[in-house]
Structure 1
Amino acid sequence: MTPEILARIAAAGAERDLSDLARQAVGATTSSSSSTERIAAARRLRQMANEIVDLVVLAEALAGTPWEEITTALNRRDPGTVEGEYAGDVADWQALTDGDMTAIDADAEALDSWYARHREDHDPDSRTPVADLMNRL
């Protein structure tokens, strides 16, 4: 496994968690929670979405996507600044050992199982998107 694939799997896990939390928020629409609780829940969704963006950027950087392209996709102006913001994380992920990365297999299986349970007809057709990603090696 490569750090890029590991980052893509981490992003998929974060996307699953965001989906679950968003579904719970919909279910709590009629709850008697306070305005403070509702705002805090919405802020948590936003924080999770920002974490997903960071993981996707990390995966793209690890895949060798040029910083100019990443910067444009982020609607930012300075590739040097964007690269600097992610440099530490990219270096950390590039330094992962094979042992660090093999523990992800169980997470991949759980993500595929989650996707199979929640997949709807309009979703991408892959039945095992994470296993398919891991098989790209």
Structure 2
Amino acid sequence: MRPEILARIAAARAARDLSDLARQAVGTTAETISPTERIQRARQLRQMVNEYVDVVVLGEALAGADWQEISAALNRRDPETVKGEYEDAVTEWGALPEGDLEDEGVEDLDGWYTRHREDHDPDLEKPVADLLNRH
């Protein structure tokens, strides 16, 4: 499996985990907890969003998107600075031997999507497994 596909699968995992945590946050809205704990939970969500953005950027960089486009999408001005922030991860993921990359968890992600899909979501049966069919 190509590293950019693996990064996109990692992004799908991150999105799933973020969704689950956000749903839990809604469920605890009336819970009596300290302001500190409520803020810490919100910060955990923000940290997960940042990690999700990072892995999406990684996948796009590995797929060949140029740093000008990535920087613009991040609403950042200096592509060289953005490239510098992600360069080590791109190099590390890009050096992974394709034979060593597993598609572990793809069926679980597709199952999760099917269980949680709502009418306004894309009507796809296997949105993550479909990545494996790309050449």
What is the TM-score normalised by the length of structure 2?
Answer: 0.97
Instruction: After superposition, give the CA deviation of every residue in 1:11-30 in whole Å (9 maximum; x if it has no partner).
Output: 00000000000000000001
Q: How many residue pairs were aligned?
A: 135
Whichever residue aligns with residue 128 of structure 1, its letter is K
2:17: which partner in 1? 17
1:37 Cα shift?
Answer: 0.7
Instruction: After superposition, give the CA deviation of every residue in 1:3-49 in whole Å (9 maximum; x if it has no partner).
Output: 00000000000000000000000000011111111000000000000
Residue 78 of structure 1 pairs with residue 84 of structure 2: no
1:3-82 residue pairs with structure 2 within 5 A?
A: 3-82=3-82
| Structure 1 unaligned regions, length at least 5 | none
Calculate the aligned-residue CA RMSD, in Å.
Answer: 0.9
| Structure 2 unaligned regions, length at least 5 | none
- Provide runs of 4+ in structure 1 moved above 4 Å: none
Q: Distance in 2 between matches of 1:42 and 1:56?
A: 21
State the identity as a percent: 67
Q: Distance in 2 between matches of 1:2 and 1:88?
A: 17
Q: Distance in 1 between matches of 2:41 and 2:112?
A: 23
